[in-house]
Amino acid sequence: MRAASAILGKDLRLRLRDRSMLLFAVVIPLGLTVLFSFVFPDAEDIELTGTVVDEDGGEVASGFVDGVLPTLVDDGLLTLVDVDDAQDARRQVEDGDLDAAWIVPDGFSRAVTAGEAAELEVLVAAGAGIAGEVARGVADAFATELEQVTLAVAVDAQARGGAPSPQRIEALAAASQERSDVIAVEDLVTGGEDQLDNMSYLAAGMASFFVFFVVSTGVIGLLEERSQGTMPRLLAAPIPPGAIQLGKSLGSLIVGLASMTVLAFASSLLLGADWGHPLGVAMLIVAIVLAAMGVMALVGTFARTVEQAGNFQSIVAVVLGLFGGVFFPIPGEGWLIDVATAASPHGWFLQGLSELVASGEVAAAVPATLAILAVAVVTAVPAFVLQRRGLA
């Protein structure tokens, strides 16, 4: 332990003098959190100023104009502005006075009820950003609803053995209108309720992403000792080879925990992030740091040089981070993405925090913590054995 603590002390001293460590551990993750929070704002931060021009005036158009859009207005997401006509709407969007405009052309309702192709026009101002995406999303979601209604009408007609009556079509359309609240802008942006808010998600994602780079210094440290010629000196000293591994690992653990803790506090105090119950957060942080150490250690054992290790580790950290959804949530469609997401400690970490925030109970973080620890064990054990062989 004496030798391990000497190696730990030396490594920490070197890391503290290395300003890039401070950048990776605190400055960059915090900076990117702030940056991404502007790119991906919270649903409640979205303000869309738009207009709708109903040139159709039919039942289906009314479903959109009087059913869907008012719910967005009521939620405070949309400010509807009156315009003279479609041409005026187009001009205001082009001028940037409006973020978006929906134009329901003449004949829209008739085409829909006849089962023909119908077009709902969405105009989005250049530079509208997320507001423009929301405008498109609202139209897409309404179109999907209409397709479902059309399908229902067709099935209904076939079941009843003839063309549906106008009353029947109206009834189905009305049912659709009542269900228009399924078009939730929040879903378009964050993926549902009981999630971390945007700032917390980004802060936790960035912290978990960069901690993989922060702890990798321990593994790279072994290669650095070799490349700068000090490894023979360490091996010639009257210390067990395990002390070198222990000292390096403790260094990674301390730096990783410090980085995550500082980011959790800093993002909470400075950016208003909420990571959830502190005990649950602590469990998840310890787990993700251990997993990061295991993964990076295993990847590093396949490298011969510091540069090679850095490259391998960067690739793995980025891939795992992407599949874990540290930059944006992954839709999770397809078995390959499902498997990759399940194997990503980042994904489990963010899921654990989400469940922690949603339930408010520490126990909610236990499944994710165990999943992350499983990744830590599965990677750390072979890494330890391979490293030991290299030191023998």
Partner 1 sequence: MTQVLRCEGLRKAFGDLQAVEDISFTIDRGETYGLLGPNGAGKTTSISMVAGLLHPDAGEIVVAGERMHPRATTAKAAVGLVPQEVAIYPDLSARENLRFFGRLYALRQRQLDARVDAILEVIGLSDRGDDRAGEYSGGMKRRLNIGIGLLHEPQLLILDEPTVGVDPQSRNAILESVEALATDGLAVLYTTHYMEEAERLCDRIAIVDKGRVAAEGTRRELVATIGEQDLVRLDVAGDAPQAAVALRQLHDLGSVDVEDHAVVCLLHGAAQRLPTLLGAVAEVGVSVTGVEVREPDLEDVFLHLTGAALRD
- Point out which residues bind partner 1 (CB under 8 A): 2-3, 6-7, 9-10, 13-14, 17-18, 228-230, 232-241, 392
In this structure, are residues 98 and 89 in contact, taking their beta carbons and an 8 Å threshold? yes
DSSP E strands in the chain: the ranges are 48-54, 78-80, 100-104, 121-124
Q: How far is the CB of 384 from partner 1 (least distance, A)?
A: 18
C-beta of 117 vs 233, nearer to partner 1: 233
CA end-to-end distance (rounded Å), the chain: 19
Structure tokens at 107: 């004949």
In this structure, are residues 186 and 193 in contact, taking their beta carbons and an 8 Å threshold? yes
In this structure, are residues 37 and 199 in contact, taking their beta carbons and an 8 Å threshold? yes
Give the integer Cα–Cα distance in Å for 300 and 148: 52
How many other C-beta atoms are found inside a 10 Å radius of the C-beta of residue 117?
7
Q: How far is the CB of 29 from partner 1 (least distance, A)?
A: 24
C-beta of 239 vs 271, nearer to partner 1: 239
Give the integer Cα–Cα distance in Å for 263 and 75: 33
C-beta of 165 vs 230, nearer to partner 1: 230
In angstroms, how far is CA 202 from the centroid of its own chain?
7
Q: How far is the CB of 240 from partner 1 (least distance, A)?
A: 7
C-beta of 232 vs 272, nearer to partner 1: 232
> H or E stretch including 184?
none
DSSP string computed for 311-371: HHHHHHHHHHHHHHTSSS-----SHHHHHHHHH-HHHHHHHHHHHHHHH--GGGGHHHHHH
Q: How far is the CB of 27 from partner 1 (least distance, A)?
A: 20
Q: How far is the CB of 387 from partner 1 (least distance, A)?
A: 15
C-beta of 159 vs 392, nearer to partner 1: 392
C-beta of 207 vs 244, nearer to partner 1: 244
In this structure, are residues 150 and 175 in contact, taking their beta carbons and an 8 Å threshold? no
Q: How far is the CB of 298 from partner 1 (least distance, A)?
A: 24
C-beta of 3 vs 254, nearer to partner 1: 3
Give the integer Cα–Cα distance in Å for 333 and 341: 10
Q: How far is the CB of 26 from partner 1 (least distance, A)?
A: 20
